[in-house]
A and B are shown apart, each in its own frame.
Chain A
Amino acid sequence: MSQITVEDVEYIAGLAQLEVDAATKARLTEELGKILGYVAKLNELDTRDVPPMMHALEMRNVFREDEAGPSLPRDLALRAAPSHDGQYFIVPRILDTDEV
């Protein structure tokens, strides 16, 4: 495990779709570095033959019949949207161009 850099923070902020200003970037680099330094403690343990936990309790896949049931009415589904036209969610244009 390596020490986190300002460039790493920029990179993961991009992946997480968050914008961080310069001051925040410096603070986060320090804070995340400290947390990662702490979690590096796990390297004290030899886990070569230990299976990773996928489920804490025994779980089987859950199946059900593929039958249509009641679903959320459209007006309720749209009610909380920042923008909609009664039929669809409305979002800003996806392509950054005027061409059609």
Chain B
Amino acid sequence: MAWYGKTAHELIEAVSQRQASAVEIAESYLGRIEAVEPRVDAFTQVWRDSALEQAARVDARIARGENAGPLAGVPVALKELLCTVEGETTCASRILAGFRSPYDATAVQRLKAAGAVLLGKLNMDEFAMGSSTENSAIKLTRNPWNPECVPGGSSGGSAAAVAADECAFSLGSDTGGSIRQPAALCGCVGMKPTYGRVSRFGLVAFASSLDQIGPLTKDVRDCALALNVLCGHDPMDSTSADVPVPDFTRGLDGDMRGVRVGLPREFFTDALSGEVREHVEATVKALEARGAELREVSLPHSEYAVATYYIVCTAEASANLARFDGVRYGFRHPEAKTMLDMYVMSKTGGFGPEVQRRILLGTYVLSSGYYDAYYLKAQQVRTLIKRDFDRAFEQVDVIAGPTSPTPAFRFGEKTADPLTMYLSDIYTISCNLAALPGLSLPCGLTASGLPVGLQLLGRPFDEEMLLRVAHCCEQLRGGIGKPPLA
């Protein structure tokens, strides 16, 4: 039985009804990985033995009549930057090649405790810096819908693996769109929860005030089920929010009455590809039939989000990445004779070009004489961006628009000029700057067969509203089918 084509909630049902064992499901997924990896290259590590052991333990618990957890037997894969005791945690960087973490990230511990079966790890842009996964030091990952196109990034492996049915769902991380943009480009559902919703303990830091872990799934219900397990306060992360965690599946009833949906006029401009615009508008329009009210809203500082982001994120990255000094873990240059040589030669030899570029930019904007002009200024504009959303959310309950200005682009198309690549995150970045939850879901295919993503943004800690609206969109528009991988 081809269990790999199923959603997580279908698998949970099958396991609980004893229609499938966790081992059968794991074997189905491992077979699928073997069959399509030559074409997709999403995985950096496949943990066949430990996955089958975990699945056997789930089956044993069920046989004894025990509760095996809310995700019992669901095969999951993880972005390379989540610390795991199993395998390596490389962040797709040379500087962490071979690194074995002494502990599991909290999100990983929660998945394990919920009975999920971990299949392995997934490719990404080095240290999550990129929008196409082309910055991986390990390999290129291809878009399952078209092998000549990128899967998006930085969680490109996480999105490609879900789209190609190589795992039931995956975890990614989102600093400026790194879950939502690849989810849009690969045709899956991706959620960046509110900052603080999911513990960052064990997530290798890129920009600490923006980073958040989230799921990439095959449908909206799976996204809600994953959040039920991932969310919650963690004393190991001092920025983790101590707020109640609802059952995220409870609002998935298709009722849109009284829901006010805002359409930011700044998101629907000439920068937006015509086909993306058509699908997004048609989907949002359809919500009206279910009782939603559509309103135009304004986010006047949207055009400053990318500039603000590339100051804030590089500043934070330059501080976070200073820890890779070749002492406690990671690459140490074998020819370094002195302490200073060790630092310089290890970093220079270990970090790839985009990571070095961002460290330098971050160092510059924080350096003496430039701090006020760049970093302070950016933090002030960040306040303005947040105020835009505060005002908009006085009038509407959710904001809808495109996730990415274009569908998946071709390899090499944006690598020559870093700024061109940065601008592919134009719609996703402000969500991180304002610490909001954001979700992308597939809303159609272009004429050339590439998925289009619809983005929903909500009030802090109101993931339920996003899931409710997304679920309704999914019902109204139907699925986009499966990529042509056979």
Give the B-binding residues of A (Cβ under 8 A): 1, 4, 8-9, 11-13, 15-20, 28, 31-32, 34-36, 38-39, 41-45, 47, 50-57, 59, 62, 64, 72, 76-77, 79-83, 89, 91-94, 96
* Contact residues of B: prevailing secondary structure: helix
Near A by CB (< 8 A), chain B positions 305-347 give: 306-308, 310-311, 318, 322, 326-332, 336-345, 347
How extensive is the interface on chain B, given as a class? 35 or more
Quote the shortest CB–CB distance from B401 to chain A (angstroms). Answer: 20
B381 at the interface (CB under 8 A from A): yes
9 A-B pairs whose Cβ atoms sit less than 8 Å apart in the complex:
A1-B373, A18-B356, A34-B417, A38-B306, A41-B304, A42-B311, A76-B102, A83-B332, A91-B327
Residues of B within 8 Å of A50, CB to CB, are 380-381, 383-384
Asked if B327 and A16 sit within 8 Å, CB to CB, the answer is no
How many Å from the CB of B357 to the closest CB on chain A?
Answer: 6
Contact of A93 among B101, B338, B367 (CB under 8 A): B338
Residues of chain A within 8 A of B357, CB atoms compared? 28, 31-32
Give B209 Cβ to nearest chain A Cβ, in Å: 7
Contact A42 B332 (CB under 8 A): no
Contact A53 B330 (CB under 8 A): no
Spell out B's residues near A (CB within 8 Å): 99-103, 194-196, 209, 235, 238-239, 241, 301, 303-304, 306-308, 310-311, 318, 322, 326-332, 336-345, 347-348, 351, 356-357, 359-361, 363-364, 367, 370, 373-374, 376-384, 386, 417-419, 422, 433-435, 460
Which residues from B are CB-within-8-Å of A18?
A: 344, 347-348, 351, 356, 359-360
B241 touches A35 (CB 8 A): no
Majority SS at the chain A contact face: loop
Known A18-B347, A76-B102; 16 more pairs at CB < 8 Å: A4-B364, A12-B360, A12-B364, A15-B367, A17-B322, A36-B361, A39-B307, A39-B378, A41-B307, A47-B381, A51-B380, A53-B383, A53-B386, A80-B102, A81-B328, A92-B336
A73 to B231, CA, bound (A): 28
**B418, A35: Cβ atoms under 8 Å?**
yes
In the complex, which of the residues A15, A44, A64, A81 contacts B327, with contact meaning CB atoms closer than 8 Å? A81
With both chains docked as a complex, state the minimum distance between the C-beta of B377 and any C-beta of chain A, in angstroms. 5
Q: A57-B241, A64-B235 are in contact. Are A96 and B338 (CB under 8 A)?
A: yes
Give the distance to chain A from B96, nearest Cβ to Cβ, in Å.
9
B341–A13 touching, CB < 8 Å: no
Tell me whether B326 and A82 are in contact (CB under 8 A).
Answer: yes
